[in-house]
Structure 1
Amino acid sequence: MKSTLNFYQILLLSLMLLFSASASIQSQNKIKVACVGDSVTFGAGIQDPNENSYPAQLQQLLGSSYEVGNFGHSGATMLKNGHKPYWDKPEFNKSKDFAPNIVIIHLGLNDQGNNNWPKHKDEFEQDYLDMISVYKDLPSKPKVIICRMTPTFSGHHWFEEGMRESFKEIQSKIETIAGKASVDVIDLHEPLYRFPEYFPDNLHPTKEGAQIISNKVFSAITGDYGDLKLPLLYGENMVLQRNESISFNGTANYNDTVTVQFNQETKHVTADFNGGWKVDFPSMEAGGPYQLKFSTPTKSYDLEKVYIGEVWLASGQSNMDFMVRDMESVATVLKDSLNDQVFLFSMDGKTLSGEKFSEADLKNCNAADYFRSSGWTTSNTKDLEKFSAVAYAFAYSLQKKLNVPVGIICNAIGGSPAQSWISREAMEQKHETIDLLNDTRLNPMVDVWVADRIELNMEGHSKTKIRARHPYQPTILFDAGILPIKDYTIKGVIWYQGESNVDQIELHSKLFKMLVDDWRYHFQNENLPFYYVQLSSLNRSTWGSFRDSQRRLLNIANTGMAVSYDVGNETDVHPIKKWIVGQRLSKIALHNDYSFDIGYSGPLLDFVNVMGNTLEIHFKHGEGLKALNNSFVQDIFIASSDKKFVPAQTKIVNGTLQVWSPKIENPRYVKYGYTPFSDGNLVNGYGLPASTFSNSTE
């Protein structure tokens, strides 16, 4: 019996053929994007990579007019002679058969291993150029874009065994390759480098990390960078540093023309492949207000009041964050010391408490969201009450002497240790600080209070799906608070910190030097002034020794130290005499940076002469040396070579201090102001107190 199709079956078959042809045509009209790479591209370690790998998330961003292919192969190398060459993998042929219009290459992470790089590194560049040529020569003639590698973090077991150096070499070669092959480069290192919490195994990103990759690739493909965006510190009442070249920068859509109008001058600049733009104006004398306008064809920002003057950054922990409203004589300050030529910019931590963090708190514990910024405000009563007392006293004192606008930025965080403020690139250079990076919560080098607070705040964190870092962990406050402002020209830094490193004196000295060098590098000023507060008096055992260690840090060029032990509190880590501290910092700046002939330092130990049974102590800044209240010098001790210190008798002769004790026949060492809560009373003719000091290195 012959089989026949009825009318409806014929109609259904015809429709199916029609839809199939239509789908084929639609597929042919789509822009095809081939994502070539290793396990990061594949989505290794990500739950459901078919939905959450970076190519999958890229497909969602690009939409139905694009077709994204994931051609990642775990472990693949760019090197043809590597242990697992991408060239030999089925994904390589599949990516070519895909007939792509765009090829995104992210390879190199597996080449950095000691099983590949040392022996074959000279082959990497040519192998990469060969792969680019293979894709460019496809019949589909795709646009090829290559990528700077995603980060490899210090917790990787090969990091200190050559991988750190290999990684840097490969990143550098990728830039060279891009130039030789005339292809664009997507930087996948930034900002992922600032989110180690998205790399649980130090190499593979989580879904959140993959989302950052997909966003960057999306922008590179489409040129869409969210239109005109300005840096954090740009806004009404902003203060720009006088007598320095003025640079404005930001992001915009690729190839958009950005117009900048300032001081009756107009300049145009084109946003580059990565959306970046920068334009320079000549330096200016102090003045204002000036109008400033940024615009693209579709968006603009108009600022009516921009000033030229002096810009300083105030940072550190709680004593810098200590508010005007809580200081001694606050009523007088808020009545008589308001100044409409001092402009405040506050960056406040969103999450800080003595309790377990909530899920809402944890969501703020990352480099992108930790700080809440105020914008620039004048120093009216409402805004000033919540601003840093030390920072305002400093800025107010500068303004009164200089008679120019002064901008002061404060981003201090209570309880924060020095390592939170240092960049990852700096911390990754030495084993001691790498150890801090890799063991951030129970490391014995971390002060007990800090470690305990981290544990308390992060209790139960691992049970949530939120990826977070504690604000006291290494590098996070640099990532969140310094990196976003590093391109803004500042005159210098004032710093009040150390309480959270006081139990690790030697380590703190190393961290402090590292921090100063690090900030000078990122602010692109190797002579950036850095003035800090020596810790006050407090009845805690290590504070005297710590103060002396801070004095020794004055051997770092272009630093200055304001002594504060005479305005401390025996039991309160937050003494309230903050105006005095801010004024002392301002004296250092006024002398060093603005050439005022004023006393700016108390007596500092210069050298010690042994005169029989007496030590003769010489000081820098010792002119007019005296003991307050015409009394004997207090809190001073001497010792022989056994370093068993006893109270000393004293006499001041021609600006030198003589010390002795009937109990010590052959004195060698002296200590002053070492009692944690010191009643030291040695000052110079300017009334500035002598620093805690000793000629003993113990």
Structure 2
Amino acid sequence: MRFFNTIRIHPYLCRFMAAVPGAFFFLCTSGLFAQPVRVACVGNSVTYGYSLKDPATQSYPAVLQGLLGSSYTVGNFGHSGATLLKNGHRPYYKTKEFQGALAMHPDIVVIHLGLNDTDPRDFALYGDHFIPDYNWLIDTFRQVNPKARIYICKMTPIFTGHPRFLSSTHVWYQKVQQAIEQVARINKVPLIDLYQQFHDRPDLITDQPTLHPNKAGAAKLAKVIYQHLTGRFGGLTLPDIFTSGMVLQRDQPVKIWGTADAGSTVLVKFHGQEKKCTVPFDGRWQLQLAAQKANAQPETMTVINGSDKIQLQDILIGDVWLASGQSNMLFTVKQTDKADSLIRHRELKKGILRLFNDKNLAATDDINWDTAVLNKTDRLQFFSGHWAKPDPEETSDFSAVGYVFGRQIALSQDIPVGMIEVAVGGSPLLSWVDRSTLENDPLFEPALHDWLHSDYLMEWCRQRAAKNLEKSTAPYPRHPYEPAYNYEAGIAPIAGLPIKGVIWYQGESDADNAPLFARLFPVFVKSWRATWHRADLPFYYVQLSSLDRPSWNYFRDVQRKLQHQIPHSKMVVTSDLGDSLNVHYKDKIPVGQRLALVALKETYHQDIEDQGPTIEKATRLKSQQLLLQFSHADGLRAKGGAPLRGFKIFDQNGNLVDVPGKIQGSSVVLQLPLHTQATSVVYGWEGFTRANLINKAALPASSFKLDLPPLP
């Protein structure tokens, strides 16, 4: 036992102890102590430091000792393989570490057990005993020191490298977590959520069974425990999405959140409202302000926490849209055709459009990333941005599609519009889906494990990511092509901010596997809607353009069908804008305009045409003819007055045959060759197509394949 002379209690700690359940009540006495505060870290191999080179110095209790200092004595009472269950295969209560923890007569007990109970030998058989056995453990520590403060932990994650993840472990893991939450409520003890702290950091738990934190993971674990024991979370902070010049969503309650030291008070002043809260035990505070109508007059928000004050100026209230996807959404205004007309425009009222460009830390080009980029990417620090007015410099570097869309909405509605851009060139769809959704889907869970060698990602994506990561020495390097990464690094940090809807342009990095994309895209949309707690969140997306790649026509047809399967979604066609050789065609202004048409019709309820000719039905006629009926077909015509192009059939022998077509009102009549039977009809059925059917609004028809009923 180590001793020291005196310790002075900071006034903040006394306030914290009085305000927060679980605070160090035993410290607020005279301010003088005869011996250190005894801390017992109870647990399994994670606590012990299994897989670390030197658990005596690298385990989380050892690191915690250094953080707390000589005023504390921290004991490591972790036993590898231990179960909380008394009937488990290696019960903790029978270990010498348990006896050692009791003999310490701890003032503070931190319990992290349950991971080994996910074994089929344990919770599957004795799960009904888990809560009573946990209650017994807590009571036992209270018997040896009635004044002891007990902290229990939700478990650190088990990632998908675990050999039993899908077969059983993940199911029992979720049940154990729920039981631990119930134990905390029953015993009125503070609950430290280690899952929340680690679930997006697989780079910190990198042993083969993905159970044990590595050295960096143990250090983070110690920091998290330290913060919860002391209430010191680094003072007042706001998420990066909160900066001066921002737009807040109208007609929805405004959520403001951040971190601050536990037990302190946060006060928010905005637009005549004042709200305050006491920062809870985990340091994460949030407040909700009443919904406001659109307001183009700049307002100031003040956030106060003790002596800390953050003041955000020039805030508007209007509609906030999220523009996301891969490189064609990332494609900037300065790269697009007619860029000068966008950069130097004078149509908008001053400041009514605001831009948040969440810029990439590095390009995903064919290069090796340096150590600084690799380290920040591992820590989920790949995106950074701030709100700005659309001056020439900010406009030039913003998404061309997102900027044109936002400008069109602002002009039409005469309200402030905020555009948030979060996009990564080459990113596959899997990288934008949250980890929990993927883990709970048996089809997509395997994509999380060893993703650099997984057929879930196109080979091009895997090769490019490997090139970027070539110099990494990390056991589990992170990358924005990794499943769930862009969600964790780019979407999760802004997900609390209410938005009007999403515009999406992505798919180029999934086009080689259209059937898989067809199953993943609805999962993706559902996951984002769950994130924003809005089942009706508008989701408007761009169909792939034309490019001389053999899979793209199949992929475009999948995208066309998906809009009919996903409520509150709609697609815009761009096949008439593509470049046969360049995936990054430069004519982006019409893309933003077409997305704006969809939003103006579906979200803002304007009576306008927002779709090109849409195939509805094919009927066999006499004289070897097919009648194709279209909706959105007012003024049906061929673009530029040229001959109608793009229609083909699959014949009875599986051959793809060009057929001439003739427009008749809102229909197209196809003339089939003699002695030819059509099994299906297609339009725009090449990677790069010159199909040219449009309507009065000059909007193009989508590629499609329509199977025909067999002949009698």
TM-score tier (shorter): over 0.9
Q: 1:465 to 1:445 in 2, by over 3 A?
A: closer
1:452 matched to 2:463: yes
User: 3-state SS of the aligned residue for 1:57?
Assistant: helix
**What is the deviation of 1:158?**
0.6
Give the equivalent residue in structure 2 for 1:269: 277
Match of 2:259 among 251, 255, 261: 251
Q: 1:239 pairs with 218, 241, 247, which one? A: 247
User: Would you say 1:543 and 2:543 are equivalent positions?
Assistant: no
Where 1:430 maps in the other structure, the secondary structure is coil
In structure 1, the partner of 2:601 is 591
Deviation at 1:191, TM superposition (A): 2.6
DSSP 3-state at the match of 1:61:
helix
1:369-408 correspondence to structure 2 within 5 Å: 369-373=381-385, 375-408=386-419
- Cα distance in 1 between the residues matched to 2:93 and 2:506: 53
Tell me whether 1:334 sits opposite 2:340 in the alignment.
Answer: no
**1:514/1:22 CA distance change after superposition, 3 Å:** closer
Letter in 2 for 1:272: P
Match of 2:216 among 205, 208, 218: 208
Does the alignment pair 1:488 with 2:497? yes
- Counterpart position of 1:171: 177
How far does the alpha carbon of each residue in 1:222-275 deviate from its partner, in whole angstroms, 9 at most, with x for none? 111111111221110111111111121222111111111111121111111111
Aligned to 1:682: 693
Distance 1:459 1:486 in 2: 32
1 CA distance for matches of 2:57 and 2:341? 61
Instruction: Say if 2:635 and 2:695, in contact at 8 Å, map to a contact too.
Output: yes
Taking structure 1 as the reference length, what is the TM-score of the superposition?
0.94
Q: What is the number of residues matched between the two proteins?
A: 676
Q: Where does residue 587 of structure 2 map in the other structure?
A: 577
Q: How many Å separate the matches in 1 of 2:238 and 2:468?
A: 34
- Whole-Å separation in 2 of the counterparts to 1:476 and 1:242: 30
Matched, 1:100 2:98: no
Provide, for residues 289-343 of structure 1, a one-character-per-residue CA deviation record: whole Å limited to 9, x for no partner.
Answer: 1111110112111122111000010111110000111110011211225742110
1:225 equivalent in structure 2: 233
The answer for the alignment partner of 1:558 in structure 2 is 568
Give the CA RMSD over aligned residues: 1.9
The answer to which of 334-343 and 539-548 deviates more is 334-343
Q: Is the 8 A contact 2:634 2:695 kept in 1?
A: yes
The Cα offsets for residues 653-680 of structure 1, whole Å up to 9 and x where unpaired, read as: 2201121221453323111011111111
Residues 21 and 331 (structure 1 numbering): CA distance in 2 closer, same or farther, change over 3 Å? Answer: closer
Shift, 1:609, TM fit: 1.9
Deviation at 1:195, TM superposition (A): 0.9
What is the Cα deviation at residue 279 of structure 1? 1.7
Deviations 1:566-622 (CA, angstroms, capped at 9, x unpaired): 111111110111111001001101110111111111122222222242222222322
Alpha-carbon shift at residue 220 of structure 1 (Å): 0.9
CA distance in 2: counterparts of 1:465 and 1:518, whole angstroms: 29
Aligned residue in 1 for 2:371? 359
Tell me if structure 2 keeps the 8 A contact 1:351–1:365.
no
Segments of 4+ in structure 1 off by > 6 A?
A: 19-27
CA distance in 2, matches of 1:307, 1:524: 23
Pick closer, same or farther for the CA change 1:539–1:43 going to 2, 3 Å: same
Identity of aligned residues (%): 36
1:146 is paired with a residue of what secondary structure? Answer: strand
Q: 1:240 to 1:218 in 2, by over 3 A?
A: same
Mean alpha-carbon deviation: is it higher for 356-365 or for 191-200? Answer: 356-365
Aligned match of 1:148: 154
* Cα distance in 2 for residues equivalent to 1:457 and 1:302: 39
The partner residue of 2:329 within 316, 320, 333 is: 320
Q: Name the SS for the 1:411 alignment partner.
A: strand
Shift in Å at residue 641 of structure 1? 4.3
How many Å separate the matches in 1 of 2:303 and 2:402? Answer: 30
- Picking from 313, 316, 319, the partner of 1:310 is 319
Question: Is the counterpart of residue 603 in structure 1 residue 605 in structure 2?
Answer: no
Instruction: Give the direction of change, closer, same or farther, for the CA distance of 1:435–1:466 in structure 2 (3 Å limit).
Output: closer
1:368 aligns with 2:380: yes
CA contact 2:202–2:476 (8 Å) conserved in 1: no
Residue in structure 2 matched with residue 666 of structure 1 by the alignment: 677
TM-aligned CA distance change 1:21 to 1:62, over 3 Å: closer
> Structure 2 CA distance, aligned partners of 1:583 and 1:337?
18
Alpha carbons of structure 1 residues 694 and 592: separation in structure 2 relative to 1, 3 Å: same
**Correspondent of 2:143 among 118, 127, 137:** 137
Contact 2:240 2:384 in 1 (8 A): no
Aligned counterparts of 1:611 and 1:438: Cα–Cα separation in 2: 54
- Secondary structure at the counterpart of residue 594 of structure 1: coil
CA distance in 1, matches of 2:449, 2:347: 46
The residue aligned with 2:167 is 161
Contact 2:4 2:34 in 1 (8 A): no
Aligned partner of 1:568 in structure 2 is: 578
Amino acid at match of 2:495: K
- In 1: Cα distance, 2:403 partner to 2:103 partner: 65
Change (3 A) 1:696 1:197: farther
The match for 1:422 is: 433
- Which residue in the other structure is 1:505 paired with? 514
Letter in structure 1 aligned against 2:554: S
Question: How far apart, in 2, do the equivalents of 1:386 and 1:21 lie?
Answer: 60
Separation (CA, whole Å) in 2 of partners of 1:199 and 1:465: 11
Give the superposition deviation at 1:372: 2.2
| Match among 456, 474, 479 for residue 470 of structure 1 | 479
* Alignment-derived partner of residue 90 in structure 2: 84
The 1:295/1:631 distance shift into structure 2, 3 A limit, reads same
User: Could you give the per-residue CA deviations for residues 87-137 of structure 1, whole angstroms, max 9, x where no partner exists?
Assistant: 000111111111111111100000001111111011101101111111122
Contact 1:309-1:404 within 8 A present in 2 as well? yes
Any unmatched runs of 5+ in structure 1?
1-18
Q: Which runs of 5+ in 2 are unaligned?
A: 8-31
Kindly state the Cα deviation for residue 192 of structure 1 after the two structures are TM-superposed: 0.8
Partner of 1:531: 540
Q: Is the alpha carbon distance of 1:615 and 1:37 closer, same or farther for their aligned partners in structure 2, counting shifts above 3 Å?
A: same
Partner of 1:12: none
Moved more, 401-410 or 636-645: 636-645
Separation in 2, partners of 1:20, 1:588: 70
**Cα displacement (A) at 1:366:** 2.3
8 Å contact 2:115–2:155 — kept in the other structure?
yes
Answer with 573-582 or 434-443: which moved more. Answer: 434-443
Question: How far did 1:367 drift?
Answer: 4.7
2:119 is aligned with 1:110: no
Task: Indicate the residue corresponding to 1:301 in structure 2.
Answer: 310
> What whole-Å deviation, never above 9, does each CA across 1:57-84 have from its counterpart, x for those lacking one?
1111111111111110000000000000
Asked if structure 2 preserves the Cα contact closer than 8 Å seen for 1:338 and 1:380, the reply is no
Aligned mates of 2:161, 2:707 — CA distance in 1: 38
* Aligned partners of 1:639 and 1:668 also within 8 Å: yes
TM-score w.r.t. structure 2 length?
0.92
Q: Distance between the aligned counterparts of 2:3 and 2:442, measured in 1?
A: 62
**Within 2, Cα distance between the matches of 1:22 and 1:195?**
38
